[in-house]
Structure 1
């Protein structure tokens, strides 16, 4: 019960009696008790939660944090964290993105997620993933940001190892491709070297003539030597760019230029096999945002596969077709041969590692090409033709990718 009493006085101001109002507050006490129980239960849940749970205001000041959050930051006491801003612990390159996340949670009152790196107490670095949600008052106003943050450092390290292994595999595939083309490349490089040797010998003979030198002819020969040297250097430079290891970097590229570079690269093998390459291209092709070496690797793989399919078939036309077409959002590169096609029993697993129709193939070229296409937000697929096979590589345009 709850009592409110007031004195009753006579005309002289003396207290004669008291007026008491008694109210039954059992229900209110029960409600208060239940609220306290729920508050303690919620506090226990938060305290025992294995993930970091924290409250912050719009400026990023940390209002509350549970023990798991302290452990995530390598803190031993709440005073090391509470009252400081989250930007004390978030690495500088993620400040802008996290501020944007905070503004969106407070403005739109909708949950947001983000991955970023933090630096805890004692300069310990780790990757984390946070899920942020608005904390509302009774009027529906956002009073704080509630964030649940988990340690994803092991996952990020695993992803990095997979990425490195993927890059190593891509490098091995490029070296394997160069090995398959070695005969043609050696012939292509031998031509300028032989020409240089011949021109140099001619210059020596002209210079040694007993009846006088001919500077004009010697200069012409030296110019030819320079041209052949540049030709050999271009071959080696293209080869070096293709096989070297480097960090993938997407940049705007012209699809036609990539195709023409690979046709030039494959030219010695094409001539050696006596195969004709037809190139058909839309007049207006938008740029694609890709890593040049990786996409060249896919294109070269498709072209060399087509050439090998033709050479392994007794009755195939000595011809392959390359077509470039565009939509407002994508550029599609299609490579078709007129050979025997892919056996029906392996078509469904064509992009699975170690599936191959080649007697000495590794079965990783198409699988790797497929993963490269997907990593660029594109697609690589196969269609049977009569005769032959059609492989299509679709890549998003620069604007669409962005």
Structure 2
């Protein structure tokens, strides 16, 4: 074989080796001539820069990458002059806006004669690695910030033997030991001496190895010797093969939470003690009306145990009528919670376990806990109060009756005087009539008729005196009913103001139709109003104004009868409500007769638990006031 053939074979072999090297080289390689035109490239170069062999044939490097700036062109120029230039990493901005991070080297290649034939570019795109490292660094910074910002959390990492190898700022704040002081020490120094003696630190690590984690709550020791309640979790940390390489420990200072919890438990215990001793029954229910709690007082009142009531509808504690109203109210409340329950005190009918229905006063409140509505009801048994009230009314009626009867001594003299006048007049008129009958006078019949007419009037007067006296003495037990003040006043005015129109007196009512109802004996209260109206009519004589009004005064309704008459003189005021003192004769300016009208009014009002009084200004008129109880008082 000739030398020429040998050289040709060697060149061909070298060319094949060069091609094989370019195809399998891990780096991107490009061989360019002195005009920066491509001669050969590695497969990695085509892949990294998204090129094809056909796209680079005869092309200049600057044609394919027009975005290359002057700094890169200067590097290429330095290599073409024989210098090798490199960089471990550098940013490269592409024309499409993307950014690559590249490790590169540029060096000249020479011809057999030694002259420079061009340059070789070696590049390795590190964009993915840079991004991963950047993300990892950011995550590491954020994790360190998170760890160090945990105010009441101590985070540390232990090796397999339990020695501290990582100690965060939170651990330093919580325990007081600096990182230098803590690193390398067995973590048992953080436990109380008594716990170290019992082997608690080693037990927790062993449990974490066996079960994956160990959670505990116990006292821990600070550098200054003080203690705190620690909520600790120790997790075993393993490598990819599952081998334990250490432990992660997270400790949370529970002292403030524990102190708040202890204080809250103390407050709850105190509140429960108070509620258990309150004589009023307390029942809580959810927004559906199902019982959540049932106090001891409620158990005593209704006869049920708490277990018999809890979870059941509270309507089981109500009379049938009130249970029906309750169920309807719960339906309305569920449809529109914004309306709220019917709060404020009211009287309802309860039902004991025995079936007995009794009266109770109910107070309802509403609260929100955990996003749910809770209704609280306080109940007071009115059975004893009603019994005492009934006894009080009976006693009051009896005392009033006795008081009226004990007036009989005074009444006897007054009655003899009052009846003596009409009886004497009757006797005189009858005697005169008898005399006239025996005489032969032309006007005898007319005179006899007049005498008999006057005798009849005096007889009626005597009968009125006796009737008034009987009403005063025989007033019986009140028949109380719930009444409308406006209607009671209107009917009293119809009966009491019959003469007003004839006498030119204006008698009006200013009692509002919206007044709350009262609990009274309707007939007796109307009688009292009629007496006051009749007195005002007698005072005015002809012309004048009378007004009947009413207003709410705490748990009572106050009625007022006002006139614009002459008023009451000072000497008459002291004897105004005394029975059997004729105000007409004394010039008191209020009413006529035996003086029983105002006395009867006072008896009626006081029997209702109210009071009666007056206000007057001489020459301008008088106001008589009295009070009666509200129906829901």
Q: Fold-level match, TM-score > 0.5? A: yes
Which residue of the partner structure matches residue 247 of structure 1?
Answer: 479
Counterpart in 2 of 1:383?
616
Q: Structure 2: which 5+ residue stretches go unaligned?
A: 1-229, 424-466, 552-557, 583-593, 628-633
Q: In 2, distance between residues paired with 1:129 and 1:393? A: 30
Q: Decide whether the 8 Å contact of 2:509 with 2:549 is kept in 1.
A: no
Alignment of 1:112 onto 2:344: yes
**In structure 2, C-alpha distance between the alignment counterparts of 1:284 and 1:66, rounded to whole Å:** 50
TM-score, L = length of structure 2: 0.38
Residue 281 of structure 1 corresponds to: 506
| CA distance in structure 1 between the partners assigned to 2:395 and 2:328 by the alignment | 34
Matched ranges for 1:317-328 at <5 A: 319=541, 323-325=545-547
2:302 is equivalent to residue 68 of structure 1:
no
Q: What residue in structure 2 maps to residue 258 of structure 1? A: 492
Q: Residues 508 and 546 of structure 2 are in contact (CA less than 8 Å); yes or no, is this contact kept in structure 1?
A: no
CA drift at 1:331: 9.6
C-alpha separation between the residues in 2 aligned to 1:322 and 1:164? 41
SS in 2 for 1:129: strand
Aligned partner (choices 356, 360, 364) of residue 132 of structure 1: 364
Given candidates 296, 315, 318, the residue that maps to 2:526 is 296
Greater mean alpha carbon deviation, residues 48-57 or residues 329-338: 329-338
Partner of 1:16: 244
Partner of 1:143: 373
Counterpart selection for 1:56 from 276, 281, 285: 285
Partners of 1:119 and 1:125 within 8 A in 2:
yes
Distance 1:390 1:246 in 2: 29
CA distance in 1, matches of 2:296, 2:559: 52
How far apart in 2 are the matches of 1:143 and 1:339? 60
* Equivalent of residue 88 in structure 1, options 316, 333, 336: 316
Check the 8 A contact 1:248/1:294 in 2, yes or no. no
Larger Rg belongs to: 2
Number of residue pairs the alignment of both structures matches: 315
Report SS of the residue matched to 1:150.
strand
8 Å Cα contact 1:285-1:331 kept in structure 2: no
RMSD of the alignment, in Å? 5.7
Distance apart, 1:14 and its partner CA: 3.4
Change (3 A) 1:262 1:30: closer
* 1:218-275: CA deviation from partner (whole Å, max 9, x where unpaired): xxxxxxxxxxxxxxxxxx9xx99x98877344366486763453467xx9xxxxxxxx
Distance in 1 of aligned mates of 2:559 and 2:477: 27
Distance 1:107 1:174 in 2: 57
Secondary structure at the counterpart of residue 121 of structure 1 = coil
- 2-side partners of 1:165 and 1:320: how far apart? 43
Which stretch has the larger CA shift, 113-122 or 31-40?
A: 31-40
Unpaired runs of 5+ residues, structure 1, are 188-235, 268-276, 311-316, 396-402
Q: 1:51-110 CA deviation, whole Å, 9 max, x = no partner?
A: 3222112232211112111001122x2222222222212223434665688749963568
More RCO (CA 8 Å, sep 6+): 1
In 1: Cα distance, 2:495 partner to 2:263 partner: 75
Helix, strand or coil at the partner of 1:60: coil
Query: Structure 1 length normalisation: TM-score?
Result: 0.55
Provide the C-alpha distance between the structure 1 equivalents of 2:488 and 2:363, rounded to a whole number of angstroms: 39
